[in-house]
Amino acid sequence: MGQVAFDTQEFVETLENAGLPKDQARAISIAVRKSHEVADVATKADIVEVKHEIAEVNRNVADVRKDLSAEIANVRHEIADVRKDIEHRFEKVETQIVDSRKDTAAQIALLRKDVESISTWLLIKMAGMMAAIVGIATAIMKFL
């Protein structure tokens, strides 16, 4: 903080012109000067300096806000990209699941056809064996 400008000579002259004796005027002037030396008073220059510092802080805050806004925009863009990637991967996995289900259904259908054809073949074989057994049994009966 700066000192307050105080002209002691002028102050003494003012008091003398008002009718105070020179010794009293000097004593009052010294007391006022000492009170000003002790007082921590802001000068106009101090206020101007503080205003400049506040303006600098405001500029710095504005710069930080711009940087932060840019960073937030970048993060939002990155999040959007990640979302698109996740959605793409999800759709891809969903398609693979649907394809796997179709393949599985087709393989089950083929297995069912194989089981049907094997059971038909076994039925025909069993019928042929039964016919053979009946034929052998009839032949044995004829010989007896």
- 92 assigned to some structural domain: yes
The pLDDT value recorded for residue 114 is 95
pLDDT over 90 percentage in the chain? 65
Cα angle value 107/111/116 (rounded, 5°): 150
pLDDT digits (tens, 9 = 90+) for 86-141: 999 999 999 999 999 999 999 999 999 999 999 999 999 999 999 999 999 999 99
Q: Cα–Cα distances in Å, from 70 out to 3, 55, 59, 78?
A: 46, 23, 17, 12
- 106 assigned to some structural domain: yes
Q: Residue 43 in contact with residue 4, Cβ under 8 Å? A: yes
Cα angle value 138/119/115 (rounded, 5°): 170
- 137 assigned to some structural domain: yes
36 pLDDT exceeds 90?
no
In the chain, the number of structural domains is 1
- 70 assigned to some structural domain: yes
Return phi, psi of residue 19, to 5°: 110, 5
Confidence of residue 38 (pLDDT cuts 50, 70, 90): low
Q: Domain residues for 119?
A: 42-143
d(CA 134, CA 111) in angstroms, rounded, equals 34
What is the DSSP secondary structure assignment for residue 3, as one 8-state letter?
A: P
d(CA 137, CA 3) in angstroms, rounded, equals 140
| pTM of the model as a whole | 0.46
- 68 assigned to some structural domain: yes
- 37 assigned to some structural domain: no
- 55 assigned to some structural domain: yes
- 18 assigned to some structural domain: no
